[in-house]
Structure 1
Amino acid sequence: MPSTTANVSTPKASRYMQQLCKHFAHKVPVTFDTETASVNFPFGDCRMWADETSLRIECSSADNPALQRTRAVVQEHFERFAWREEPAFNWSPAC
């Protein structure tokens, strides 16, 4: 199963993660607290870990096109919520 990960530097990692989860929960299964989250899209899964300085995001899907979609949905929504910070995403294959 292909997967990819990114670390996004932000002092508001927990806030943005929770905002993403509340938004996605209107349409897909989501579990979260202040430090971790799991979002189950029909086309892939996303797990997140927040700390004081960054948000770690890991996306996985059955194939590469679905992985690209999962990654794009998460990144686009994060960028909308954190537009003042202009977050930088450097995606790399998950280990």
Structure 2
Amino acid sequence: MPISRAVIATDSGARLINRLCKHWAHKLEVEQEESQGRVAFDEGACLMRADGEALTVAIEALDEAALDRLEGVVASHLERMAGKEPLDIVWEN
């Protein structure tokens, strides 16, 4: 299973995790604790963990094509949830 990871500089990581988990909980299996969350998609999973300086996001997918799709979905949702805060999301495989 291919894995991709991004470390995103932000002091609002816990808030972003909370917003994303609430957003996706209507359609997907979501687990959330204080400053971490897990979202299960049909073709993989997204793990998120926040500290005071960064949000770390890891995606595990069934194949490379699914990984590419999930990177796009997660990044676009993070940017939307961040509002005016610019996020520099760089995926590392």
TM-score, with normalisation over the residues of structure 2? 0.96
Q: Is the 8 A contact 1:43 1:69 kept in 2?
A: no
Which residue in 2 is equivalent to 1:29? 29
What runs of 5+ residues in structure 2 fail to find an aligned partner?
A: none
3-state DSSP of counterpart to 1:19: helix
The DSSP-based 3-state class of the residue aligned with 2:75 is helix
Is the 1:34–1:50 Cα contact (8 Å) retained in structure 2?
Answer: no
Q: Which residue in 1 is equivalent to 2:13?
A: 13
- The residue correspondences of 1:15-94 to structure 2 (distance < 5 A) are 15-93=15-93
Give the whole-Å Cα distance in 2 for the aligned partners of 1:72 and 1:43. 13
- Consecutive aligned runs of 4 or more in structure 1 exceeding 4 Å deviation: none
Aligned residues: 93
Alpha-carbon distance in 1 for matches of 2:19, 2:81: 8
* Gap runs ≥5 in structure 1: none
Look up the equivalent residue of 1:91 and give its one-letter code. Answer: W
1:44-66 superposed Cα distances (whole Å, 9 cap, x missing partner): 10001111111000001110010
Deviation (angstroms), 1:83: 2.9
Separation in structure 1 between the aligned mates of residue 53 and residue 91 of structure 2, nearest angstrom: 18
Percentage identity across paired residues of the two chains: 35
